[in-house]
Amino acid sequence: MPRSPSVILAVTCRYVLAAVFLAAAVTKITDLAGFTNRLVWSELPFARIVAAVVPWLELTCGLCLALGWAVREAAAILAVLLAALLVYALAHFGQSDCRCFFFPTREPRWTWWTPTRNTILLACAVCVSLVRTRHSPKA
């Protein structure tokens, strides 16, 4: 049976989110002290708690998406995280990005990059959390 465009989009978004959040988690986990310092320096409320929880949450959700376990739940959790990151990026517009989403590189000069990236990923997470990609048996 051919798949609908919405299912193809959701599956594509699922693997994009998995790759992005696995890379983000590895970036943070391999330099946890640096990540924590960047959050503390940015004066993020509860920075140490966020630094202790977010990398492992990203790793868990990324693995769930990649391996097909609790896909919609993982996407919903990431949607909430991405919504919070989007609000933070818009509230602190123009400030330096934490450079913790991928392996740290030179920061893009385009100031709209962070909110744009978060919006696109949020749309992907919502798509994955709402679209059924498998047929469930009728009750």
Q: Give the pLDDT confidence of 26-39 residue by residue, as tens digits.
A: 999 999 998 899 88
* pTM of the predicted structure, to 2 decimals: 0.86
Q: How large a percentage of the chain has pLDDT more than 90?
A: 60
In this prediction, residue 99 carries a pLDDT of 62
In this prediction, residue 106 carries a pLDDT of 57
**Matching residue, tokens 């919405």:** 6
- The answer to whether the CB of 78 falls within 8 A of the CB of 61 is yes
* Cα gap 43→48, rounded to integer Å: 10
Q: Give the pLDDT confidence of 64-114 residue by residue, as tens digits.
A: 999 999 999 999 999 999 999 999 888 887 766 666 666 555 555 667 888
Compute φ and ψ for 30, nearest 5 degrees.
-75, -15
Q: Which residue has the higher pLDDT, 118 or 95?
A: 118
